Amino acid sequence: MGKTIAICLGRLIFGAVFIMAASFKFADMQSTAGYIASAGFPLPLFLAWVAAFFESALAICLLTGAFFSEAALLAGLYVIFLAFSFHGPSHWAGNQAEFGFFIDHFTFLAGLLFAAVHGPGDRLSLRAGYLRSEACMES
């Protein structure tokens, strides 16, 4: 039962992180676009919308278990892209906290890689087109 609880909590944490990230973007798309522009990317408003929908899709996959391993791998690539783009070495001289933010992304990557390899578990996971209805706490 402990393994099932840990998997379910992990999926909830992954999903919550991407829901929060997407929510902040949807709540203030112009600020997100400004942050993207400050990193030097073209079409910042378009990229902000793409990021918000991408993060929403990741949250759905990680929470439901649908395309779980693929979503976890894509999320890992995305997280490392964000680490280098917004918290990479060029940011460390101006603010030492940026180094901590950069390293935190690798911790998140490690969890996502582990999840990608081990899958969403047997509870509350979309598989073969149907939702397994067992409660998360059962085992």
Per-residue pLDDT tens listing for the chain (139 residues): 888 889 989 999 999 999 999 999 999 999 999 999 999 999 999 999 999 999 999 999 999 999 999 999 999 999 999 999 999 998 888 788 989 999 999 999 999 999 999 988 876 666 544 444 444 444 4
pLDDT at 93: 86
pLDDT at 53: 98
Run of H or E residues at 131: strand 130-131
pLDDT at 1: 81
> Which residues lie closer than 8 Å to 8 by C-beta, 6 or more apart?
121, 123, 124, 136, 137
Tell me how many degrees the CA angle 128-10-119 measures, rounded to the nearest 5: 35
Question: Which residue ranges make up each domain of the chain?
Answer: 2-131
Q: Angle formed by the axes of helices 44-64 and 2-27, to 10°?
A: 160
Q: Which of 27, 24, 25, 58 is nearest to 44 (CA)?
A: 25
Spatial contact of 85 and 40, defined as CB atoms under 8 Å apart: no
Q: Which of 75, 72, 100, 71 is nearest to 87 (CA)?
A: 100
pLDDT at 137: 40
pLDDT at 122: 78
Report H helices in 28-124: 29-38, 44-64, 68-87, 89-92, 97-118
pLDDT at 31: 97
Q: Model-level pTM?
A: 0.84
Q: Which of 81, 111, 85 is nearest to 98 (CA)?
A: 85
pLDDT at 126: 66
